[in-house]
Structure 1
Amino acid sequence: MQVSRRQFFKICAGGMAGTTAAALGFAPAAALAETRNYKLLHARETRNTCTYCSVGCGLLMYSLGDGAKNAKSSIFHIEGDPDHPVNRGALCPKGAGLIDYIHSEGRLQYPEYRAPGSDKWQRLSWDDALNRIAKLMKEDRDAHFQHTNDAGTVVNRWLSTGMLCGSAASNETGLLTQKFIRSLGMLGIDQVARI
């Protein structure tokens, strides 16, 4: 870099003016504040999958306290998982707003049942809900299972019931779901991303 004599004097004059102003008290005050604690310092990190669409973006959810007792109030921060191969830490606006979904007053947190002809929903335990679903599936399968078709060929199929699978499930969960549903003879299988 070439500096002429005039430029050299300008640089020196600027430096002297700055140090003189600082010596006269125009310098910023010394920052004596201590460093702020990182908000995720004592939080428990949980990896999960976004629930909105079929892309399957990875999430990191942070909670404080015992999540088993009160998971709704313990989750305080959600961000994209930078190690996830699908989204690499990025989230769409719906995924970025998941914390509002978790803390929503309208969020359904337990199974409910409305009897035929009733206008009210009644709360069920998870065991009662799963037992009711299993009982209804068994009754329908026993009533509509086809061992053979009209030509006498063995088909072993159950056509009166279908299965709607979750679009945010992993490949392993999808494989297990397919094996389970196909072992019952069910042919009508679809997943949420198509709806």
Structure 2
Amino acid sequence: MVRLSPLEWPVVRQVRSGDLLGRGPAVTSALTRALAPRTSTADRVVQSVCPYCAVGCGQRIYVKDEKVVQIEGDPDSPISRGRLCPKGSASEQLVNSPGRQVKALYRAPYASEWQSLDKDAAIDMVADRFIESRRRTWQQQDDEGRLLRRTMGIAALGGATLDNEENYLIKKLFTAAGAVQIENQARI
């Protein structure tokens, strides 16, 4: 164990350096002076948008060796002006969490175990089910012959983590597919 010299005690450093109020270099230890922020060692900085809500706060993502090392508010963002809420500030943990799911999981009907699927197979499975449900539940006309051109077998529920542009595109997609049950978490 390293012994601390009495000359390095903060009060002694204050008197020796003339920093009597303890607001200058006298109050920092050698360890503190040797520290460097994680952002100074980053290979690059990527601008992004916080994924948590529809506000769209700007983020600066610091990357070192292709791994996110820090996420901070972007002062150039006209929306958040460099500020992040607690969830936005903790979004680095979302990216680097060891419990983060990075592959698609599927549990077949009546199965008790999940199985891994590659991304293309999962997307194909969702698309096939979407198309089949639309085909099976399509209503061209009602009983009185009025034109409907709709399906009641597909619905969409958008989330508040999507921005306006993403919600607009989802609305256009589901409307074009004939769905009439299109809702958003922010409206419910």
Query: TM-score category by the smaller chain?
Result: 0.7 to 0.9
Structure-to-structure mapping, 1:41-60, within 5 angstroms: 41=40, 42-60=42-60
* Alignment partners' CA distance in 1, 2:84 and 2:154: 35
* Alignment partners' CA distance in 2, 1:35 and 1:103: 26
- Aligned residue type for 2:47: R
Higher mean alpha-carbon deviation, 129-138 vs 34-43, is at 34-43
- Aligned residue type for 1:171: N
What's the RMSD between the two structures over aligned residues? Answer: 2.6
In the alignment of these two chains, the number of paired residues is 161
After superposition, the Cα gap between the structure-2 partners of 1:119 and 1:88, relative to the gap in structure 1 and judged at 3 Å, is same
**Could you state the TM-score of these two structures normalised by the residue count of structure 1?**
0.71
After superposition, the Cα gap between the structure-2 partners of 1:85 and 1:158, relative to the gap in structure 1 and judged at 3 Å, is farther
**Could you state the TM-score of these two structures normalised by the residue count of structure 2?**
0.74
Which structure 2 segments of 5+ residues have no match?
A: 1-15, 19-24
Higher mean alpha-carbon deviation, 175-184 vs 160-169, is at 160-169
Give the Å deviation of 1:155.
Answer: 1.6
State the partner residue of 1:170: 163
State the partner residue of 2:126: 133
State the partner residue of 2:10: none
SS in 2 for 1:40: helix
Structure-to-structure mapping, 1:70-89, within 5 angstroms: 74-89=67-82
Give the Å deviation of 1:75.
Answer: 0.3
Deviations along 1:109-129, one digit per CA (max 9) or x if unpaired, are 111000111111111111000
State the partner residue of 2:5: none
* Alignment partners' CA distance in 2, 1:105 and 1:27: 47
Structure-to-structure mapping, 1:2-151, within 5 angstroms: 26-27=16-17, 39-41=38-40, 42-65=42-65, 67=66, 74-151=67-144
Higher-Rg member (1/2): 1
Q: Does 1:182 align with 2:181?
A: no
